Each structure stands twice: as C-alpha cells, then as structure tokens.
Amino acid sequence: MASEKKKLAKRRKWGRDDTELSLLALPTTIWYLLFCFAPMFGIIIAFKDYKVHGGFIQSFLQSQWVGFKNFEFLFSSKDIWLIIRNTLAYNIVFIILGIVVPVAAAIAIGQLHSKKLAKAYQTAMFMPYFLSWVVVSALVWAFLSYDKGLVNGLLESWGMDRQQWYMKPAMWPPFLVFMNLWKGVGYGMVVYLATITGIDKTYYEAAGIDGATIWQQIRYITLPLMKTVIIMMFIMNVGRIFYSDFGLFFQVPRDSNSLYNYVYTLDVYVYKQLKTSTTGMAAAAAFVQSVAGCITILTANAIVRKVDRESAMI
Amino acid sequence: MESTKPIQKRRKNEPDGFDRFNRVSKPANAVLNLIFFLMAAVCVIPVLLVVAISFSAEASITEYGYRFIPKIFSFEGYTFLASQSKMILRALGISLFVTIVGTVLGVLLTTLMGYVLSRPNYKLNGFLTMVVFIPMVFNGGLVSTYFVVGTMLGLKNTVWALIFPLAVSSFNVIICRTFFKTTVPESLIESAKMDGASQLTIFSRIVLPISLPVLATIGLFLCFAYWNDWYQSLLYIDDHKLLSLQALLNQILTNIQMLAKNAATMGASAAEMLANMPQEAARMAIVVIIVLPIACAYPFFQKYFISGLTVGAVKG
C-alpha cells in the first residue's frame, strides 16, 4: 500500500500544494543548510593548514592544502590514544550501566504498592536531568572543595585528614560514572516506565493465575516486551560511542591538570585544542570523531536491522 | 489482627481483587521503598546543600565550611548580588531573552518542518526527509561548526549565537512529524483544501490548534535547553555584556579558582577586596537563582516530557 501511494505521488505533477509546502519548509531547510550542512563541508579544513585571513571563506580558500599532515601530527602524539581509550572506556561503562540501572529501577518502581510514593520518588529522581553541568559542577564543589567541602568537613570531624579530591586521579573514573548515572537515571527510568505502563495488564493477571512468581513475570513478560525500546536506546548510544558529554568531563572535574589522563575525552580535547589555536590538530581530531561516529551509528543500525527489522532506527 | 480490620477500610488504599495477591510481598515492598527513598534523597540533597550555603554568613563558611544547617544564618549572599544588580539583571535579561525568543523560533521551525514531512503526497518529501535524517548520522564536528557559526555567519559575540544553533533538532522534527501523522485526521485537511484553504491556513488554523500537546512538549524541551545552556556562550561569547546566568556562573566558578591559584602572586589589596565580598554565599545564590525556576516548574511539566519521550520512541 505504502509503496503504491509513493508511486502515485511521483507520477503526479507538481501542484499548488507542493509550492505552498515548499515555502513552509523553506525557513527550516535554510536553517539545516547553514547550521548542519555548511559545517559538513567545512570539515575538509582538517586537510588544510587553516590560517585566519579575514572571513571564514577567504581564510578557507587561502589556507594551504597539507594532505594528511594534521592527522600525522595528531596520531604521533601520545595523548590521542589515551583520549580515544578514555572516550571508549567511559562510554562502554555508561552504555551498560545506563541500560541496566534505569531498566531495573523502572521495573522495581512499578512494583511499589503505593503509586503516590512511586510518583514522588520518580519526580525527585528526575530532577538532576534538568540541571545544567555548570550547576552540577557547583553542587559537586560544595561536597569536594578542599577547605570548605562537606566531605572534608566530615572526614575531619571523624579525625581523618583532609583530601585534595580534585588532584586524586584514581577516584575520578568511578566518580564520573556515578555522576553520569546520577544525572541520567531519572530520565532513563521515565523512558522505560512509559513502555512498562503500556503493557497489557491482563498478561500479568493470566500469568499470576497460572502461578507465575513476580520474578517469572518480569523475566517472561516485562523484559521481552521491553526488548525493542532497550535495543533502540542501545543503538543510539553505541552510535555515539566516539562522542562524550562535554559538560560532564569538562565542568565536573573543573579542568584540573592532575586529572588530565583520566578525564580527557575527545570532545574536551577538541575544545582545548581549538581554544589554544592549534586548529589543525583540533580539526583532525574532530574529523576522526565525526567519521568514526558516522561509521559506528550506521554499523549499529545495520546489525540491529539484521537481527530485528522493527527495531532499526533508519 | 489483620483479619479483624473491616474490609471496607482495607479496600480504600489497596487495589481490589486479584492485583492484591499478584504483587511483591510486604517486606520486599519495604526494602524497595527504602532503596528508592535513598536514591531520591541522593538526587535532591545536593541542591538543598547549595540552598543552605547561599543563606550562610561568609564568616561561618570560612570557619566551619559548607554545612546543611548554617551556623550563622544570613542573606548577605543575596544582598551582595543585589548590590551587583546591574550585572545580575543583565545576565537574567539575556537568559530570559534567549529562552523566550529561542523557544518561539524553535517551535515554529520545528513544527513547520514536521508538518511538511507529515504530508504523504508532497513531492519533495523524500528529499526533505534526507535533509532531516543525515544530520542525525553525520555532523561537521566542533571545529568547522565553530568557524561556520562564529566567523562565516558572523554570529560570534552576538546573542543570536546563543539562539540559532539550538533552535532545531532532528529528534524534535521527527516527534512532530509522527504526532501530525498519527493524530491529525487526513479528512480534516482534505476538507479544508476543498474549501480552498492554503497550506499556511491549514497549518496555522487547523493543525496547530489541535496539536497543543506536541507544541507543549517541544516548547518545554527547548525552554529547558535554552535556560540551561552554557556551552554556546563558552564557544561564542567573549563580551561580558552578553553573558547569560549560566555563563556568568561558569565564569565565577572558574575565576574564583583562578584567584585561588594565583593567590601567592596577588597583591594584598586585591586579596583584601576578595576577602570582603561574600563570594561563597553569592556564588551559591546564583546557583539558587538558576535552579529555583526549574525546580518549581518541572514537577508540573513532567508529563509533557514523558509524552514527548514516548512519541520519540515510536518511529514514524
């Protein structure tokens, strides 16, 4: 049916409707051209020795082509491998915990006897999602500051030494994982809870009458019916495995030099290089990120398409 | 004892019939409640701590550090901000302007595109779908985006650099398209066309008024995104007059750090000036000013977020 309709639309001549709809779509299309597609073409500055000569187009045209030189510089530095490792490692942990914890929380909160309490917990846990990373950075500072922080205050009152938390690399990977969960669990829970509440109640009644325990009901009814949304979230996150939440890695550790090796991800690296005017390296790193990101998202989608056509995004 | 309770009373708070048996046991319920109570507390407590700090006297913070219950209660953080009202009000003004203009512009651009893509017989439907989908898979990356937006379009150090880049997202366009496709009856549009209505009239007079839920959802997504944005300011704004509240907070957080780092090389007078202002309380007072509207608003708007997320999960 759908393909027949499409064929009909193709055979039809261009009409008044098409002109009017094109005009309606024009402003947004221009927005897409300027803010999405122009940067896509601009990406080739990774192959140039970008120098500022007046405007962007002029600088772009006058800059020398240097082939893969920017990439040679980038990959000969030790940093880049460390940074790619950090980006991938954090994302793998985030993807796994970012699915397991909210799914478990969503299932568990649905089991609570009091729906009012469940709603209250959900509202409270959703709050961090609405805070910006700058605000979160201030909240974390209130706990971890050396001389005034709550944690050091408590340590001291228990007779222990104050700690320079912003200079202790070892605690940051687990702490950033915690902060990522802290900010994201409420959101994830809401997404999964929407799926759970959409499940037909009679399944559970039938299972209960047949003597299934709550565990069995979760295992054989809830989880299978959540499969599609879980896979969707999984692909979206795997597709973004070369991207990281700039705010989390830049704002929360407060750009502390001692944490460099443990908290720098590609996004932070590109930003720092850009701000220190090493444009070539920044452009090369951004190029790697965009291309690798594009490949991962298409691959993830293709795999899901093979396994379960219905769950594929594109 | 349980069985002597009148049945009427028990039925009031507990579900009827089978549901009462097919659920977790009372001890399991208590354990789950405890876990969720702790998780909820962990989410809310940091904000309460910051509120407490903003109401503490500077002397008590210096003496005892940050505390949940201020040793000496004081409004000096807020009075200091009031004395700097020119800076604060300007930042608030920028934040409000960006949020309001950005949300209106974003909703307009998003719904227009969503509506056009929801028309099945439109000739360029396939082409425009690609225009919306490609940026979800591939993007130009930070460096070229920075040069295109900042230099080529000349938005550096203008308020528009805070507005335009966030106005449209393909995710929102798809939410709109799905909503229009599934809830606006085709017959309604056809009959309006019979009466000679143009597409603009159909969109503005028929489609938008019956699509308030999706407008609210997109509007709220955008509203929170603009209010919370600091990244665009970090990239494009050097001019102090154009700092939003978030950007201002960001600068103050970094500046006090910088001052702390340079304390050894700093002259005594500068140090003295720094010592005289209630920097700790004032800083947290700005956090409170930013968080307060969000904390008051989101519990009421939650359901629109949830409906948006659910629609987004359904592909069109």
Q: What is the pLDDT of residues B72-90, one digit of tens each?
A: 888 888 888 887 788 889 9
Residue A5 scores a pLDDT above 60 = no
Angle of CA points B156, B169, A129, to nearest 5°? 95
For residue A49, list its beta bridge partners: A64
> Is there a contact between A74 and A285 (Cβ–Cβ < 8 Å)?
yes
What distance in Å separates residue B276's CA from the closest CA in chain A? 17
Residue A249 sits at the chain B interface (C-beta within 8 Å): no
| Residue type for position A262 | Y
Residue B233 scores a pLDDT above 80 = yes
Residue B13 scores a pLDDT above 70 = no
Question: Per-residue confidence at B258, pLDDT binned at 50, 70, 90?
Answer: very low
Looking at residue B311, what is its pLDDT?
59
Judge: A251–B250 Cβ closer than 8 Å, yes or no: yes
Residue A186 scores a pLDDT above 60 = yes
Average pLDDT, chain B: 84
Looking at residue A1, what is its pLDDT?
46
First-last CA distance in chain B: 56
Residues of chain B with CATH 1.10.3720.10: 79-313
Closest-approach residue (CA) in chain A for B62: A148
What distance in Å separates residue B83's CA from the closest CA in chain A? 22
Please give the C-alpha separations between residue B197 and each of B119, B180, B201, in angstroms, as whole numbers: 15, 18, 6
Which carries the bigger pLDDT value, residue B262 or residue A187?
A187
Selecting from A31, A38, A113 the residue whose C-beta is nearest the C-beta of B29 gives A113
Judge: A112–B141 Cβ closer than 8 Å, yes or no: no
What is the Cα–Cα distance from A79 to A260, expressed in whole angstroms? 10
Best of B143, B180, B221 to disrupt the A interface (most A CBs within 10 Å) is: B143
Region A153-179 average pLDDT: 91
What is the Cα–Cα distance from A258 to A270, expressed in whole angstroms? 19
Greatest mean pLDDT among A70-84, A194-208, B31-45 lies in B31-45
DSSP characters for A171-185? GHHHHHHHHHHHHHH
Query: B-contacting residues of A 219-238, CB under 8 Å?
Result: 229, 232
Residue A143 scores a pLDDT above 60 = yes
Question: H or E segment at A225?
Answer: helix A223-239
Looking at residue A67, what is its pLDDT?
85
Average pLDDT, chain A: 88
Looking at residue A271, what is its pLDDT?
93
Region B183-188 average pLDDT: 89
- Chain B partners of A163 at a C-beta cutoff of 8 Å? none
Region A264-273 average pLDDT: 92
Question: Per-residue confidence at B1, pLDDT binned at 50, 70, 90?
Answer: very low
Looking at residue A50, what is its pLDDT?
83
| DSSP 3-state of A49 | strand
Looking at residue B16, what is its pLDDT?
55
Judge: A208–B18 Cβ closer than 8 Å, yes or no: yes
For residue A64, list its beta bridge partners: A49
The radius of gyration computed from the CA coordinates of chain B, to the nearest angstrom, equals 26
Residue B262 scores a pLDDT above 80 = no
> Is there a contact between B212 and B184 (Cβ–Cβ < 8 Å)?
no
Residues of chain A with CATH 1.10.3720.10: 77-311
What is the Cα–Cα distance from B309 to B136, expressed in whole angstroms? 17
What pLDDT, in 10s, does the model give residues B44-67?
A: 999 999 999 999 988 888 888 888
What distance in Å separates residue B57's CA from the closest CA in chain A? 13
Question: Per-residue confidence at A94, pLDDT binned at 50, 70, 90?
Answer: very high
Share of chain B above pLDDT 70, in %: 84
Which carries the bigger pLDDT value, residue A174 or residue B315?
A174
Judge: B112–A28 Cβ closer than 8 Å, yes or no: yes
> Is there a contact between A53 and A62 (Cβ–Cβ < 8 Å)?
yes
Superfamily of domain A77-311: MetI-like (1.10.3720.10)
Residue B251 scores a pLDDT above 80 = yes
- Chain B partners of A126 at a C-beta cutoff of 8 Å? 298, 302
What pLDDT, in 10s, does the model give residues A287-308?
A: 999 999 999 988 888 887 877 7
Looking at residue B10, what is its pLDDT?
46
Residue A27 sits at the chain B interface (C-beta within 8 Å): yes
Query: B-contacting residues of A 80-99, CB under 8 Å?
Result: none
Angle of CA points B117, B223, A289, to nearest 5°? 70
Judge: A191–B309 Cβ closer than 8 Å, yes or no: yes
Residue A232 scores a pLDDT above 90 = no
CA trace torsion A87, A88, A91, A95 (10° rounding): 170
Residue A29 scores a pLDDT above 90 = yes
Looking at residue B304, what is its pLDDT?
77
Question: Per-residue confidence at A10, pLDDT binned at 50, 70, 90?
Answer: low
Best of B43, B54, B125 to disrupt the A interface (most A CBs within 10 Å) is: B43
Region A62-88 average pLDDT: 89
Looking at residue A217, what is its pLDDT?
92
Which carries the bigger pLDDT value, residue B113 or residue B8?
B113
Looking at residue A65, what is its pLDDT?
87
What is the Cα–Cα distance from A266 to A282, expressed in whole angstroms? 10
| DSSP 3-state of B302 | helix
Residue A268 scores a pLDDT above 50 = yes
Which carries the bigger pLDDT value, residue B300 or residue B155?
B155
Looking at residue B316, what is its pLDDT?
38
Which carries the bigger pLDDT value, residue B299 or residue A306?
B299
Looking at residue A9, what is its pLDDT?
56
Which carries the bigger pLDDT value, residue B211 or residue B6?
B211
Looking at residue A303, what is its pLDDT?
80
Region B257-266 average pLDDT: 45
> Is there a contact between A128 and A136 (Cβ–Cβ < 8 Å)?
yes
Which carries the bigger pLDDT value, residue A181 or residue B217?
A181
Domain B79-313 sits in CATH 1.10.3720.10: yes
Looking at residue A267, what is its pLDDT?
93
What pLDDT, in 10s, does the model give residues B129-144?
A: 999 999 988 998 899 9
